[in-house]
Chain A
């Protein structure tokens, strides 16, 4: 089955700095890679996703890059703000288990200091 590794486990940055979280996956058949933000005591919220036919996707301060050859994808947050502080999870899915059967990374706790 799919295995997703995520690094770092914790990340502390100053407000305004950029933050980068990296994930690798093992199954070359995986073709969908979402990122979720989870605040304390809440469920995960989708913040951005990318499919395997695209190398990069951007949404305001958030971007995701995908390298299918190397089987890794990264989340980039620019101009970080204290409200970006949360746990971020990467995930991967694809055949044969299906698009919606996500395998999650272990999470990165991001702390943005004012």
Chain B
């Protein structure tokens, strides 16, 4: 089955530093990947849509200069949280859309727990 891998699973960083999170589709090519943020006991909120070879599309209220997204290949998208602050502490989850299968279900990674101290 389709597998989406995220790395790291947990990261702790100091305020002001930057953190990069990777999202990989392991057994399929993903034209589009999605980045979500989930605060404790809340739902998933879409942050941005990442398209291979083009600029990401950000949801309203999400700062594109703070959350840098790169989708350099059909199997890898990265999210970089720049100048992280404690309020950026959250659970970040990616999902990937299979390139060749029309209307195939979305598969999610296991998330990255970011804690900013």
Contact = CB atoms under 8 A, between A and B. Distances in A.
B71 to A, nearest CB: 14
Nearest to A45: B108
Interface stretch (A12-20, A58-66, A73-81, A94-102): A94-102
Given A44-B93, A106-B42, A107-B43, A99 B109 contact: no
Interface string B92-115: 010101000001011111110100
Contacts of B106: 34, 46, 100, 102
Nearest to B94: A43
Interface string A3-24: 0000000000000000000000
A71 to B, nearest CB: 19
Interface residues of B, number: 23
A102 B108 contact: no
Nearest to B36: A104
Contacts of B42: 106-107
A45 B93 CA distance: 12
B46 interface: yes
Contacts of A45: 108
Contact of B107 (A41, A46, A105, A106): A46
Given A41-B113, A43-B6, A44-B93, A101 B46 contact: yes
Contacts of A36: 108
B77 to A, nearest CB: 14
B111 A34 contact: no
Contacts of B4: 43
A89 B44 CA distance: 9
Contacts of B45: 104
Interface of A: 32, 34, 36, 41-46, 49, 51, 89, 99-102, 104-107
Given A41-B113, A44-B93, A100-B34, 18 more contacts: A32-B103, A34-B105, A36-B108, A42-B110, A43-B4, A45-B108, A46-B105, A49-B105, A51-B103, A101-B46, A102-B34, A102-B46, A102-B106, A104-B43, A106-B42, A106-B43, A107-B41, A107-B43
